[in-house]
Amino acid sequence: MSGGELSGRVTLITGASRGIGRSLALLLAERGSDLVLAARQEGPLEEVAAACASRGVRARAIAIDVGDPAAAAAGFARAQEAFGRVDHLVNNAGATGDGLLVRMKRSEWDRVLQVNLGGAFEMTKAALPAMIKARYGRVVNISSVVGLMGNPGQANYCAAKAGLIGFTKSLAREVASRQVTVNAVAPGFIDTEMTREIVPAAREKMAAQIPLGRLGSPEDVAFGVAFLLGPGAAYITGEVLNISGGLYM
For 46-84, the pLDDT digits (tens) are 999 999 999 999 999 999 999 899 999 999 999 999 999
Closest to 114 in 3D by CA, of 94, 92, 138, 139: 94
Structural domains for the chain: 10-239 (3.40.50.720)
Is 2 a residue whose pLDDT tops 60?
no
At 137 the three-state DSSP class reads strand
Specify whether 157 is catalytic: yes
pLDDT tens for 216-234 read 999 999 999 999 999 999 9
User: What is the pairing mode between strands 34-39 and 10-14?
Assistant: parallel
Given 136, 157, 235, 248, which residue is catalytic? 157
pLDDT averaged over the chain? 94
pLDDT tens for 5-53 read 999 999 999 999 999 999 999 999 999 999 999 999 889 999 999 999 9
pLDDT tens for 155-195 read 999 999 999 999 999 999 999 999 999 999 999 999 987 77
Is 131 a residue whose pLDDT tops 80?
yes
Distances (CA, A) of 16 to 22, 52, 113, 220, 231: 5, 12, 19, 16, 23
Whether the full predicted model's pTM is greater than 0.85, yes or no, is yes
pLDDT at 129: 96
At 57 the three-state DSSP class reads coil
Over pLDDT 90: what percentage of the chain? 88
Cβ count within 10 A of residue 174: 12
Cβ count within 10 A of residue 159: 18
